[in-house]
A and B are shown apart, each in its own frame.
Chain A
Amino acid sequence: MKDLFAVVMLLGIYSLLSASFFVAMDAVDVAFTEAAVGAGISTLLMLVVITMTGRSEKTTRHKPWLALLVVVFTGGVLIYGTFDMPYFGIADAPIHSHVAPRYINESMKEIGIPNIVTSVLASYRAFDTFGEVVVIFTAGIGVMALLSVGRRPEEDEKTTAINDSMHEEYLVIRIVTKMLIPFILLYALYVQFHGDFGPGGGFQAGVIFAAAIILYTMLFGLTTARKVINQSFIQFIAAAGVLLYGCVGIVSMLNGANFFDYNVLASDPVAGQHLGILLIEWGVGCTVASVMIMIFFNFAGRREMQQNNEKVNNIEGDSL
């Protein structure tokens, strides 16, 4: 498969198939995230990178026999390990009998949320999710450190010229997107607050929100998108999301309980849990949305810089 474009498309389809596979395995939250994050964002980023680095790929393999040997050995060890694993779907496997029953039976009393995954994600193991939000924040900062481009003054008349030329070319898709974007944003907010009752939550909502804005940026051009959403505001939201998440923990610490103990946040414990989970889901949603937008703006900004450099070189080339 020499054409990278086909490879990336197949990866997108692969993620979508694995998302539907997770639905078949009763893992609805995971399927939602895999579809939104795996099929959506990573395929999109890879496509942006391919426009910058070219689509063809050399087919010389790098020491294939050594690779095959290592892989077959690791696979062999793993297959050796699978023989004593509990069979697929058996109810009395160790993981269903030790820690999980408490989550399934008591979570309604202790936290009062139908979606057990959200209650485990946000309350029992809230620190894992906090670590995860920091991972997303680190990725955003890392991509910014690598790809951020110093902004030079924009010439306004040049941008409006591009806008008009793009207008007729993308007429149909622009009209449809103008109709769609408000509904996508509304859907993102629905997913954000529906996380307690059905599949959904901060991550999926953040990604869908970012997808809507990325769609706008792709069609209406980076310069107009930068006017609509300025970069420093997005960075502020990313930092604010992480700080909001952390402050919920600090408030519960100041009230005398342990870090991330929501029982002390409100008068009675269950209301405290609801408030805590709502706040941290909001923090997660803000951070994920702003980081995904930040990452895409950095990639697109880098691509724009490369194209300008090529234009400048061509102009110098012609004028020589």
Chain B
Amino acid sequence: MIIGLFNDWVVVVLMMIGLYIVIAHGNLIKKIVGLAIFQTSVFILYISMANVEGGSAPILAEGIKQFSNPLPHVLILTAIVVGVATTALGLALVVRIKEAYGSIEEEDIQHLDNKTQDETEIQATEGDQS
């Protein structure tokens, strides 16, 4: 039981770490790192599902009968590329946010947003009175 499901529990622990980083850490780059860890744990789930005891890599060669399942490998090739695409776009957004807000910490950005929010409300109330 323990050895059989050990891989899945490692996947769950990695997933929890990744999710915690994304939610708890304020730095925007840290969130993207957390996202990367979260996605890598899903890859390990798929690949440990595909593995067959005593099987070799899915490349046909004489003398080898038992292969591990090629389908999850194809799915994970797609998922890795999707993961990198999301990371690249996230990092582009972080660069633009740094230029626009001057900081990449969630509290500073939230603080600046609330400030601009109050200013627009004050203008609106003045507009109504006049």
Direct contact of A and B (CB under 8 A): yes
- A residues lining the B interface (CB < 8 Å): 4, 7-8, 11, 14-15, 18, 21-22, 25-30, 33-34, 37-38, 41-42, 45-46, 49-50, 52-54, 57-58, 60-64, 66-68, 70-72, 74-75, 78-79, 82-83, 85, 87-91, 93, 95-96, 99-100, 103-104, 107-108, 114-117, 120-121, 125, 128-129, 131-132, 135-136, 138-139, 142-143, 146-147, 197-199, 203, 288, 295, 298-299, 302, 306
* Chain B residues within 8 Å of A28, by CB: 57, 59
* Chain B residues within 8 Å of A72, by CB: 16
* Chain B residues within 8 Å of A41, by CB: 84, 88
Bound-complex Cα distance A26 to B66 (A): 11
* Chain B residues within 8 Å of A8, by CB: 29, 33
A71 touching B20, Cβ below 8 Å: yes
* Chain A residues within 8 Å of B55, by CB: 26, 91
**Which of A29, A96, A299 is the one whose CB lies under 8 Å from B95?**
A299
Q: What DSSP secondary structure best describes chain A's contact surface?
A: helix
B71 touching A120, Cβ below 8 Å: yes
**Which of A14, A29, A57, A107 is the one whose CB lies under 8 Å from B37?**
A14
Interface residue B74 (Cβ < 8 Å from any Cβ of A): yes
Given contacts A30-B80, A71-B16, 5 further A-B contacts (CB under 8 A): A27-B50, A41-B84, A63-B24, A82-B12, A85-B5
B5 touching A117, Cβ below 8 Å: no
CB-nearest residue of chain B to A131: B78
**Which of A27, A100, A143 is the one whose CB lies under 8 Å from B57?**
A27
B26 touching A27, Cβ below 8 Å: no
A121 touching B74, Cβ below 8 Å: yes
What is the number of contacts between chain A and chain B, taking CB atoms within 8 Å? 259
Interface residue B121 (Cβ < 8 Å from any Cβ of A): no
A53 touching B29, Cβ below 8 Å: yes
A–B pairs, 29, beta carbons within 8 Å:
A15-B40, A22-B47, A27-B73, A27-B76, A30-B47, A30-B80, A33-B80, A37-B84, A42-B83, A42-B88, A46-B87, A53-B104, A57-B27, A58-B107, A66-B23, A71-B16, A79-B12, A82-B12, A90-B4, A90-B52, A103-B71, A115-B60, A116-B67, A117-B74, A128-B74, A132-B82, A146-B89, A146-B92, A146-B96
* Chain A residues within 8 Å of B68, by CB: 25-27
B85 touching A88, Cβ below 8 Å: no
CB-nearest residue of chain B to A112: B60
* Chain B residues within 8 Å of A82, by CB: 5, 8-9, 12
A60 touching B91, Cβ below 8 Å: no
Interface residue B124 (Cβ < 8 Å from any Cβ of A): no
